[in-house]
């Protein structure tokens, strides 16, 4: 049986807004390196492919499209790229995939930040570009306005995608510009010959000369080509417009199906978007499904824990992704069933940390191993290697030097 790929999405004390109130949550450590190092090391002990870190340009909110004034939920977070870089020397195999905003951040800065993370981790970096339409976020910068979504808009993912098409078009350009900047240094551009006094071969640094509808980037980057050549680009996609972003520029996409049949439908829509867009420099797109998970060994206990957290928060927790409550064995059944739709793996969002992460590594992973569906050891040192993706050739290198 082909092994599943597994990742975890880390955010604060967990994805349930009341998770910080759990007895084992340690909310006083949420903004410390100790908290995050413990979580990522646990994920690596479970031999997971990678972890993702959430980020945004505004405080968290109960409604993703606008801020609120609640004080009973976690607010504030560490910068995702800086956090991942700090964790890189504390880990050795697991991939590190921060989220960054592309609506208010320059592509040049994004390219150097993720390239630097790939160097710091020796080839384990990934990236999740994310747009934002919140007017409150735009106000932090004062350079532009963005199309603020309404409460009615957010009831329909296709309507959201249509309203935000211009921002997604801009995101296409950001991803393309970043990818070109990663290639702006050839692999052997650094000579480092003290005897001759030559540190770089200037002929192997390239102006990318990217010109789009929203910005132009000259290049080259200030950071040498990343160890992976191209760090992994990942996109969360719920509807047609983000499917197009994933199809055009991503290595991996996260879908949010709510059943096996829904997974099939979303995969078909993604395949149509991919067929309409050439991917000359990219391999076939890897597809993960996102799930929020509450896990416990005893049947019924995870659902009861979620209900208790719902009561603390004052509302039943729902998500863009399917919310699973049950045992590791029941989750393994679901993952293997949905995989038949054509999924390569899953990104699991632990409902509460550290409980549900530990349940993944000590409960779900051994269960999948018993079914010959998950690795027993790391077999590669880079994130691309773990996902069986080759190191891309440099688009600017001459054919004789590739």
Q: Measured on CA atoms in the order 100, 60, 263, 353, is the torsion positive or negative? A: positive
55 annotated as a binding-site residue:
yes
99 annotated as a binding-site residue:
yes
Contact 374, 345 (CB under 8 A): no
**DSSP-assigned states of every residue in 187-210:** TT-EEEETTTTEEE-GGGB----E
d(CA 319, CA 128): 19
Nearest 5°: the CA angle 247, 253, 259 is 115
d(CA 295, CA 292): 10
Token code pair at residue 87: 């964790």
**Residue whose tokens read 């993720």:** 114
Q: Which ranges of 121-156 would DSSP assign to H, the alpha helix?
A: 135-138
Token code pair at residue 293: 């998970």
**Residue whose tokens read 């697991």:** 94
Binding-site residues from annotation for FMN: 55, 99
Binding-site residues from annotation: 55, 99
């Amino acid at each position: 049986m082909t092994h599943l790929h597994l990742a975890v999405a880390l955010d604060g004390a967990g994805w349930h807004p009341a998770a910080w109130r759990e007895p084992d949550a340690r909310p006083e450590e949420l903004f410390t390196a100790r908290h995050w190092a413990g979580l990522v090391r646990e994920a690596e002990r479970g031999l997971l492919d990678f972890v993702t870190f959430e980020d945004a340009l505004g405080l968290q909110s109960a409604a993703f499209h606008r801020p609120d004034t609640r004080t009973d939920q976690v607010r504030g977070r560490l910068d995702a790229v800086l956090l991942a870089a700090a964790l890189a020397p504390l880990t050795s195999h697991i991939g590190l995939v921060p989220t960054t905003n592309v609506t208010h951040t320059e592509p040049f800065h994004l390219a150097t930040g993720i390239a630097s993370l790939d160097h710091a981790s020796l080839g384990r970096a990934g990236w999740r570009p994310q747009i934002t339409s919140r007017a409150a976020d735009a106000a932090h910068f004062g350079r532009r306005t963005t199309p603020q979504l309404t409460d009615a808009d957010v009831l329909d993912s296709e309507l959201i995608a249509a309203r935000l098409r211009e921002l997604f078009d801009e995101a296409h350009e950001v991803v393309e510009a970043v990818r070109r900047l990663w290639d702006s240094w050839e692999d052997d551009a650094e000579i480092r010959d003290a005897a001759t006094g030559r540190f770089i071969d200037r002929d192997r640094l390239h102006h990318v000369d990217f010109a789009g509808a929203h910005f132009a980037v000259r290049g080259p980057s200030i950071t040498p080509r990343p160890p992976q050549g191209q760090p992994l680009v990942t996109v969360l996609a719920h509807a047609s417009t983000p499917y197009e972003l994933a199809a055009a520029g991503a290595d991996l996409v996260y879908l949010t199906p709510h059943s096996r049949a829904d997974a099939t439908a979303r995969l078909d829509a993604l395949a149509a978007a991919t067929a309409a867009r050439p991917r000359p420099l990219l391999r076939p797109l890897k597809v993960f499904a996102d799930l929020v998970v509450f896990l416990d060994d005893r049947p019924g206990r995870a659902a009861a824990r979620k209900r208790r957290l719902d009561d603390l928060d004052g509302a039943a927790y729902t998500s863009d992704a399917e919310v699973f409550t049950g045992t590791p064995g029941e989750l393994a059944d679901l993952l293997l069933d949905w995989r038949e739709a054509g999924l390569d793996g899953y990104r699991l969002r632990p409902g509460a940390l550290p409980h549900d992460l530990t349940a993944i590594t000590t409960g779900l992973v051994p269960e999948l191993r018993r079914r010959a569906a998950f690795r027993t050891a790391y077999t590669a040192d880079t994130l691309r290697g773990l996902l069986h993706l080759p190191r891309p050739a440099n688009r600017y290198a001459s054919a004789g030097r590739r």
